[in-house]
Structure 1
Amino acid sequence: MTKNKTVATWLAFVGGPLGLHRFYLHGIGDMLGWALPIPTALGLYGIQRMQQFGQDDQLSWVLIPFLGFTIAGCALQAILFGLSTKEKWNARYNPSLPEDAPAGRTQWLTIGAMVVSLLLGTGILMASLAFSFQHYFEYQIEEARKISQ
C-alpha cells in the first residue's frame, strides 16, 4: 500500500495522540501506536480530576502534562513528516516505488498541516511547561511554609 506524506502529516497532527499515523505507516501491529493512547488517556484523566477536585489536586498536576507533551510530540512528528524530501519519504515508506513517486511530494495541504502543527503544537507545549512549572513552584512554596511554621 502506498503511504502518502500529506495523509501521514495530517494523521500525526489530528490523530497522533491516538497513534493513527503510526498505524497508517507501520500497520496495526505497531507497538508505539498502541502505546501512544496511554499518556493521552492519563492526561485526559488528569483534566477530569482537576474538574472534579479542583486545582489543588496534586495527581492532576502530574497527569495533565502527559496530554500536552504527547500532543506536542505528535505535532513535531507531523512537522518532520512534512519536511522530509520525497526521495527520503519514498525510500523509507514506499520502497517499492521510484524515489520521485507522487506519494512523497510536498503539497499545499502538507504545508498547511505543518503550519497548524507548528502553531498549535508550540502553544500546547508552552502551556504544558507553564502549567507544570507553576504548580511545581506553588507546591515548593507551600512545603516551605509548612517547614517554617
Structure 2
Amino acid sequence: MKSKTLATWLAFLGGPLGLHRFYLHGARDLLGWLLPLVTGLGMYGIARVQALGHDDPLSWLLVPLLGFTVAGCALRAILYGLTPTARWNARFNPEHPADEAAGATHWLTVMGIALSLMVGAGMLMASLAFSFQHYFEYQIEEARKISQ
C-alpha cells in the first residue's frame, strides 16, 4: 500500500534526494537517481559561492539548480497531496478498492501541502532573484568594459 500522506512528506522533505520516487516507483527509477545528482551540483554551487565569492559565474548556474529542485519537489508534494483518493489508489494501489484509506487525505497531508507551498514558493523566488541579479550585474560589468 502506497500512502498519499507519506509520499507527500517524502517529496517535501526528501524530494531532492529522490526518496518519494523510490517509495512510489522503486529503486530502478531513473529520475529518482538523477535528483540527488542535480541536488549535489546545487550544493557544489553554494560551496563555490562560499569559497570564491559572488563573482563566480559557474555558481550562478549551479546554485539555482538546488532551488529549482527543491521547488519542483515541493510542487510534486502538492500534487501528490491534492490527488483525489480514487485516482491515487487507481495509480499506486491498483489491486485495492478505490476508497482504500492509503489514498485518503488526512490533516498531516494538508500540513505537508501547506508547508510545501510556503517553502517551494520561497525557494523558487530566491533562486530566480539570485539568478537574475547576478546575470544583470554581469551584463552591466560587460557593458562597462565595452564602453571604456
TM tier, smaller: over 0.9
| Length, aligned pairs only | 148
Following the alignment from structure 1 to structure 2, what is the Cα–Cα distance between the partners of residues 97 and 17? 30
Question: TM-score normalized by structure 1?
Answer: 0.99
Match of 2:96 in 1: 97
Question: TM-score normalized by structure 2?
Answer: 0.99
Following the alignment from structure 1 to structure 2, what is the Cα–Cα distance between the partners of residues 58 and 4? 42
Local SS of the residue matching 1:124: helix
Match of 1:56 in 2: 55
Match of 1:140 in 2: 139
Match of 1:80 in 2: 79
Q: CA RMSD in A?
A: 0.4
Following the alignment from structure 1 to structure 2, what is the Cα–Cα distance between the partners of residues 134 and 39? 22
The list of structure 1 runs, each at least 4 consecutive aligned residues, that deviate by more than 6 angstroms after superposition, is none
Equivalent residue runs for 1:1-149 within 5 Å: 2-149=1-148
Following the alignment from structure 2 to structure 1, what is the Cα–Cα distance between the partners of residues 25 and 58? 34
C-alpha displacement of 1:111 = 0.2
Local SS of the residue matching 1:32: helix
Q: Which amino acid aligns with 2:18?
A: G
Following the alignment from structure 1 to structure 2, what is the Cα–Cα distance between the partners of residues 29 and 59? 31
Deviation per CA, 1:6-30: give whole Å up to 9, x if none. 0000000000000000000000110
Extract unaligned runs of 5+ from structure 1: none
C-alpha displacement of 1:76 = 0.1
